């Protein structure tokens, strides 16, 4: 009897411990971001400081992000869309208007970059600028001779050197792909006139002879091993890979490039708004922003963080091109219904 009583007591104790443990379940913050786009150490620090868990998922294009957000039964709290997709998410009624009183570190943001963000967030109430950058060409010097890239322009994508080799990729992003062809043709990335799009389409038909695939993620590994020799790439992603492999290099094309800004937004159906505010404000801290920017190799819109950045980072022209080059770059604007004309060309190129 004593053994049975003792056994019963032990089972009861284990059950009570289990119930107590379940009662202390940590709150969970669901974040959806681009791949390789945050210092993972910062997530751990945030979890420890707030006694919570962060469930972190990634996407490789704005289009894929939008599809997942619209169709997923899982409710994300925070996502990181590019500027034009902030407008799209807002039109769909998916965004929470931010209470800036809960984001005291928002005062660290650059007024100039907040002004640029008003092209897609007119009152700066829906989004917090996270990082900005440019798009160019990354290549492996072991396989691409210097004379092929010497021109320094987007025309490299159509060079006959690459014919039949299946060694070029472009981003899986309609705006970036058609944008590059528009710039090469002498137009803005936001020009959707029939003349501009027709010119871009003809250029893409030439480039497409050399393009193996449209991909926004795997090229980073494929350039390392020679599966891909040349890729349209984001400047920060390129620098991350160049730090690991001295055979890689990057060009900001002489004609100019697409300029983009990625942002932090909160979804209206977030179940963890208080924790989401804490995370956003944590990322806006100047020291945190500095560390994160140095990790992802993109300039931060956080003016206070840029003021304490190392000179090597500030003076890197791939990260911070001079004003003369930036004058040739175009922020990707929201195009409304005109995006259908861009998508039509993109699908035609991908299918053929």
Model pLDDT for residues 20-78, shown as the tens digit of each residue: 444 468 999 999 999 989 999 999 999 999 999 999 999 988 989 999 999 876 689 99
> Exposed e or buried b for every residue in 323-340, given b needs 16+ CB within 10 A?
eebeeebbbbebbeeebe
CATH of 133-259+330-351, one of 1.10.3720.10, 3.40.640.10, 3.40.630.30, 3.40.190.10: 3.40.190.10
| Average pLDDT value over all residues in the chain | 91
**The two structure tokens encoding residue 332:** 């990707």
Residue 334's pLDDT band (cuts 50, 70, 90): confident
pLDDT at 346 over 80: yes
Residues written for the chain? 352
The CATH number of the domain covering residues in 28-132+261-321: 3.40.190.10
Q: What is the mean pLDDT of residues 83-102?
A: 95
Amino acid 118: pLDDT:
92
pLDDT at 14 over 60: no
Q: What does each C-alpha distance from 151 to 145, 148, 170, 207 come to in angstroms?
A: 12, 7, 19, 16
Model pLDDT for residues 229-266, shown as the tens digit of each residue: 999 999 999 999 999 999 999 999 999 999 999 999 99
Query: Which residues lie below 8 Å from residue 62, measured CB to CB, with a gap of 6+?
Result: 81, 82, 84, 85, 173
pLDDT at 129 over 90: yes
pLDDT more than 70, % of the chain: 93
**The two structure tokens encoding residue 50:** 């707030």
Distance CA 55, CA 39 (A): 15
**The two structure tokens encoding residue 36:** 């390789």
**Residue holding tokens 């053994």?**
3
Could you tell me where in the chain the CATH 3.40.190.10 domains are found? 28-132+261-321, 133-259+330-351
Is the CB of residue 194 less than 8 Å from the CB of residue 174? no
Q: Please choose, from the candidates 34, 64, 32, the residue with its C-alpha nearest in 3D space to the C-alpha of residue 260.
A: 34
């Amino acid at each position: 009897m004593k053994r049975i009583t003792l056994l019963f007591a032990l089972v009861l104790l284990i059950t009570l411990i289990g119930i107590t443990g379940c009662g202390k379940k940590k709150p969970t913050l669901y974040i959806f971001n681009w791949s390789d786009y945050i210092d993972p150490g910062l997530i751990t620090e945030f979890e420890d400081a707030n006694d919570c868990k962060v469930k972190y998922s990634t996407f490789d294009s704005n289009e894929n992000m939008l599809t997942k957000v619209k169709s997923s039964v899982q409710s994300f709290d925070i996502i990181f869309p590019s500027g034009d997709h902030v407008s799209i998410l807002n039109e769909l009624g998916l965004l929470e208007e931010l209470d800036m009183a809960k984001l005291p570190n928002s005062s660290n943001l650059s007024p100039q970059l907040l002004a640029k963000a008003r092209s897609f967030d007119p009152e700066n109430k829906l989004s917090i600028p996270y990082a900005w950058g440019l798009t160019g060409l990354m290549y492996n010097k072991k396989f691409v001779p210097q004379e092929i890239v010497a021109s320094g322009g987007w025309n490299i994508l159509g060079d006959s050197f690459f014919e039949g080799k299946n060694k070029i990729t472009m981003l899986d992003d309609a705006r970036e792909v058609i944008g590059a062809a528009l710039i090469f043709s002498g137009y803005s990335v936001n020009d959707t006139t029939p003349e501009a799009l027709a010119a871009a389409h003809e250029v893409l038909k030439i480039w497409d002879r050399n393009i193996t695939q449209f991909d926004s993620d795997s090229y980073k590994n494929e350039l390392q091993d020679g599966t891909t020799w040349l890729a349209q790439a984001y400047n920060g992603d390129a620098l991350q890979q160049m730090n690991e492999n001295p055979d890689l290099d990057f060009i900001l094309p002489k004609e100019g490039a697409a300029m983009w800004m990625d942002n932090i937004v909160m979804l209206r159906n977030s179940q963890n708004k208080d924790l989401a505010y804490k995370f956003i404000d944590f990322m806006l801290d100047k020291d945190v922003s500095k560390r994160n920017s140095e990790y992802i190799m993109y300039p931060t819109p956080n003016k206070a963080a840029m003021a304490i950045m190392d000179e090597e980072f500030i003076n890197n022209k791939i990260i911070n091109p001079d004003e003369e080059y930036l004058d040739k770059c175009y922020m990707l604007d929201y195009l409304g219904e005109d995006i259908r004309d861009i998508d039509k060309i993109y699908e035609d190129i991908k299918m053929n």
